[in-house]
Structure 1
Amino acid sequence: MTDIFDHWPAPLARVSTRHCVALSIGFALEASDEELDGLLLDGETKQPLSAGDVRRIARQHQAAGRTVLPPCDQTNAEGLCVGHPIYQLQEDSQCS
């Protein structure tokens, strides 16, 4: 996977990769309402999801062949985050 920073003109160096944490669909389908209520937020409204909403979403992703609830928009077929590159300016940079 390439991203915009792989071809960025500034002297950036990829120093690390951040991975998002995913919630197991098995857990989402078996957990109690108390464990699930408010555990996840709606991606658009940022409001807490009810246990029923979490289970509904989990079933949709399970039907699509995933084993986890995708935590971001950069996931593999299973639903796991493939990583987000972290960059910093190279120390020998002449940029000011």
Structure 2
Amino acid sequence: MSVNLAIVKRVARLARIAVTEEDANRMVGELNGILGFVEQLNEVDVTGVEPMTSVTPMQMRKRTDDVTDGDKAADVVANAPVTDNNFFLVPKVVE
């Protein structure tokens, strides 16, 4: 994939970044260089290589996956004008 001036301007507009014509022309070359490097990485054979989370061998810290209600129901409805048993009470809007 290659980037042209129209793509750079479109991406800049989508990102809401003001880009001058001179900067856009410079970015075309820079982005094509980056994409070329990514294409080189795709050519590397990584079969048999384990994914790693760090360059030093270490176990990833994981928290226990416990399901709880959060014990925050009363705090959530504390500022509501009308509640009942930790539920918001709202006026009926459908007949």
Confirm or deny a common fold (TM above 0.5): no
Higher relative CO (Cα under 8 Å, sequence separation at least 6) belongs to 1
Which structure: larger Rg?
2
User: Is the helix fraction higher in 1 or 2?
Assistant: 2
TM range (shorter): under 0.3
> TM (normalized to structure 2)?
0.27
> TM (normalized to structure 1)?
0.27
User: Is the strand fraction higher in 1 or 2?
Assistant: 1
